[in-house]
Each structure stands twice: as C-alpha cells, then as structure tokens.
Structure 1
C-alpha cells in the first residue's frame, strides 16, 4: 500500500484556545473511488515535510483557508509557509503535486501568477477545456480566481469569465484545479486529475 500526502485545513477552536488540523470526510470517499490502492496521509504542520518523502508517491494541497496575501490571519500565514515548502520539495524530488482550490491558488501564486476577485464562482458554473473545446459543469467555492499564470505554468481550462480553472507546470508534474474534485460533481468532466494521476500510476 502506498500513501499520498494531503495538506489539511487549519481551524481555531472557539470554546478554548486550540489550533486544529482538519480534513473533509469526502476525501476518504474520493480515495475509495478514484485513488484505490493508495491511502491519504494527512500532513501535520509541526512535522518537517521532508520526513514524509520516503512514504509518499504524490501530494495533494487541499482546499480551505485563504492565501495570506488575501487574508492576514495567522493560520493562513502558517499554512502558506508549510505549503510553500511542500512545493519546493516536490520540485526538488520530482514528486507529483496537485493543488485543489486554495491549493491551486497556492501553486499559482508561487509561480508569480495574478489572482483577482471574481464573481459568480460560488455554486456550479460552466468551464471549457482548452485543448478540446469541450464544455462541462463544475462545482465552485472560491472568491478569488486566477487571471494570468506565471510563465512556467500552462492553462488547461477556462471559466466563462476567462479566469483559469485548471493548469499544469510546463516541465514538472505540478497541477492545479480550482474546483473541488472531492465534492459532488467534481469529477464529471475535466482530465487534469487523470494527467496528475498518470504521472505516478502503477507505483504502489
């Protein structure tokens, strides 16, 4: 059995002072259906990511929280620091990396892309796969979209407002998807997830 590391949402408990790491139960269902043969390995922010390298085949940066450039909350800053390290280590060791929603924003931001506030990206909306011109519906739960990608990244699909819904690195196995593939309707159209999965498929 092989593991896929997955970053977690950071939450502050309101009853008493405690910072918690959290991962949606939907990810377990997702692994059972689309990543059978792999187990999710939730990443702890107090453990150096490099210690996970011998155990994982790939990494997912999950959704939740904002980027610290959009929200100066200390939890957002803490998550940015840890996930930036993940990106750098994945690049160094050629570990396949997939960013979902906030995770896609994080990868895009790392490569100097331009994020901007968007409208009508809460709920379902229609997107177009660039290579095939095929259109399909996705779920959507974000207020900031990617308008311009950094030079090292390539757009794979666009929303109707021309914001970038999925992308990949031009040389490395780094991918970003702006909707939530783990939620209902998240796997009904795009091929980006499968491109990422193909980069390590069979390595169990």
Structure 2
C-alpha cells in the first residue's frame, strides 16, 4: 500500500480532558480520506526539523492538515493584532518536511493551513488576515454553520488538477482568515473564491498541490470531495 505521512497537530494548552498531558494528534477525517483512497496513513509526531528527511524517506507522500496560523516572522512580517494562535515549532517542522519531500520528488497535499505552510516553505508570503489586507468580502470562516456544509463558490483554472476532478465551479466549506499572498517558487494559483482569495494551487511539476477549504470534512456527505484524496494517493503511487 501507498504510505502517506500526515503531519500531526500539537496540543500545547492544558484542558479539562488532558490536563497538562500535552499530545500530538490528527483529526480522524484526514485519516479516513487516505484510507478510502486505499492509502496507508501514518501520523508523524511533531519532531525536530533535522529529522524531516528520515520521515520523508519512510513515506510515499505527505499530507499537511489544518490548524493554527503560520508564524508571520517565518515569511518576514511582524504579527498583526488579528493573528490568533501560532505554533512556531509545528511550523518549522512542517516546513522542513515540505523541503525534504520536494527534494525527494514525493507528492504533497496541503489543506487549509497546509496550503499556507506549503507556500511559506517555498518562499511565498501570506495575508495574515484576508479581510484587512486583501479586501475579502465573503465569509471565509463559516462557524457556527456545520463543518461539512459547503457555503461559498470557487472557480478553478481550466486544465488544472482540481478542474479535472471537480469541474469549473462548485461550493466549498471555509474555516480560515489567513490566505496566500505572493505565491511561492514554482507554484501557480488554480482556484479562487469570488472575492479573489486563493483557494487552490499546484506546482509546475504537479507534485505539490493544495486547497484552502476542507475536503476531509465534506467527503462523507459529499463524496465528490473524496476525489481529492484519491488523486493525491494515486500521484503518490507513481510520482512524476
């Protein structure tokens, strides 16, 4: 089976369930998306960036999940007051994973925060807040609307991987306030919302792909979004 490494999130605050027993974890929908695509998921605990190459050597593809905002200092900016929680240790580890996977020619899928990490790892920048800095007018964080319900449209670029598997225009869910500003090296935009927030990317060689929405949350209720995981796992079987 194709082995897909899923970089874990990092619980860094005490809470009633775990007290001070800090944990690494991943939301189960990412795991299920890989399983339904006939991939074998491995959760990668947050580690030292120097270990990234060893982790990448052990897998066929890398999945970056959602979570905290990316630390602005990593793309050369001071944090605005709109920035919520960040975790520089997670950022640094995932950036190292991206660089190692790119160097090894192994496919990467970034989802929400994951697309943002991809962009920063490849020397791009982010809008710390798409409303304040990019003039976004749509609701890009649909809470309290249920997570699996698509709420706003995106339009894809003809011929792109996302266009080929899901079509020209469709509804997606949305849970973010950061977004891609200047694209990273060898990346191109392949989808946008109606207020021009970047919703999808791919690299020139097709090995790096990402979406700003959350297909893992929608795939059970709306099975067409499982195609994103199927496409990624198929790519990991035979990267180009």
Global fold match (TM > 0.5): yes
For the residue of structure 2 that corresponds to 1:60, the secondary structure is: strand
Task: Assess if the C-alpha contact under 8 Å between 1:157 and 1:164 holds in 2.
Answer: yes
Rate the CA distance shift 1:190–1:32 in 2: closer, same or farther, 3 A.
closer
Correspondence 1:140-155 to 2 at 5 A: 140-155=174-189
The number of equivalent residue pairs is 200
1:156 alignment partner in structure 2: 190
**Partners of 2:94 and 2:209 in 1: CA distance:** 14
C-alpha offsets along residues 17-36 of structure 1, whole Å, 9 cap, x if unaligned?
34311111112322232x21
1:126 to 121, 144, 153: 153
The one of 82, 87, 106 equivalent to 2:93 is 82
Q: Taking structure 2 as the reference length, what is the TM-score of the superposition?
A: 0.73
In 2, Cα distance between the equivalents of 1:178 and 1:72?
Answer: 18
Structure that is richer in strand per residue = 1
CA change 1:200–1:86 in 2 (3 A) is same
Query: Mind listing any 5+ residue stretches in structure 1 that lack a counterpart?
Result: none
Match of 2:107 among 73, 86, 96: 96
In 2, Cα distance between the equivalents of 1:183 and 1:79? 22
The aligned residue for residue 6 of structure 1 is 6
3-state SS, counterpart of residue 218 of structure 2: coil
- Which structure is higher in helix share? 2
Unpaired runs of 5+ residues, structure 2, are 73-78, 131-135, 143-150
Q: CA RMSD in A?
A: 2.7
